[in-house]
Amino acid sequence: MESFARAIAAYAEGAVFTAFDIETTGLDPRRDWIVEFGAIKFDRRGVIVRYSVLIDPGIPMPLEAGRVNGITDDMLAGHPPVEEVLPDFLRLIKDTVIVAHNAPFDCGFVNENLARLHRAAATPFPVLPNKIADTLLLARRFFAGRERYSLQSLASDLGIKAQAAHRALDDARLCMELFIRCCKAASI
């Protein structure tokens, strides 16, 4: 993970970041699949591009996961599989600092899906080479003493309004705004 100071300094210096979030069929990256990517590329001046895509996982959407994110089989039908989406996502995040809330979860899923696809093709697989800023860790440092540190709780506590909670693009937006608040709390 990118250190606090380096991530905040990079923001102050005008680096480009990509806040992202995923929705999945479950919590285990070894057996579950990504069904939605949401990402916002930004720098200190503002949003550069927004990216949102649904993915057909090739399996039925589990009811438990669907209850959390509101994604159904009908919504996923006809969308591309993850192997068609991952190259676009990797191009989007190239040369940016990744921002994610509880980054090991989201980045772990991306890395496992990359590994799974490359094992099937018997080719070496890349892992995310990006520097990473985890807003969960940043929030614990700059907004200490909170009862809960979930993205939704932090957003509510800080007056950041969720528009579509537990959908990837809106969660990526919340993550971006939380990152910016952490940078401001660090007095840059």
pLDDT tens column, 96-151? 999 999 999 999 999 998 888 777 655 565 688 899 999 999 999 999 999 999 99
Has 79 been annotated as catalytic?
no
Spell 149-181 as b/e; 16+ CB within 10 A means b. bebeebbeebebeeeeebbbbbbbbbbbbbbbb
Share of the chain above pLDDT 90, in %: 79
Q: How many CA atoms lie less than 13 Å away from 52 in the CB half-sphere?
A: 9
d(CA 77, CA 73) in angstroms, rounded, equals: 6
**Residue predicted with more confidence, 98 or 11:** 98
Top pLDDT among 56 and 12 is at 56
Residue 38's SS3 state is strand
- If pLDDT is split at 50, 70 and 90, which confidence band does 187 have? confident
Tell me the mean pLDDT in the region 54-68: 95
Task: Please report which confidence band the pLDDT of residue 174 belongs to, taking 50, 70 and 90 as the band edges.
Answer: very high
Tell whether the model's pLDDT for residue 1 goes beyond 90: no
Mean pLDDT for the stretch of residues 162-180: 93
Q: Which residues contact 159 (CB under 8 A, 6 or more apart)?
A: none
Those residues with Cβ within 8 angstroms of residue 144's Cβ, 6 or more apart along the chain or in another chain = none
- For residue 125, the tally of other CB atoms under 10 A from its CB is 14
Decide which of 118 and 24 is more confident.
24
Closest CA to 49 of 62, 36, 35, 38: 38
| Rounded percentage of the chain residues whose pLDDT exceeds 70 | 94
Provide the pLDDT for residue 124.
60
**Which residue ranges form the domains of the chain, and what is each CATH number?**
4-185 (3.30.420.10)
79, 101, 118, 166: the active-site residue: 166
Give the pLDDT mean for 30-48. 96
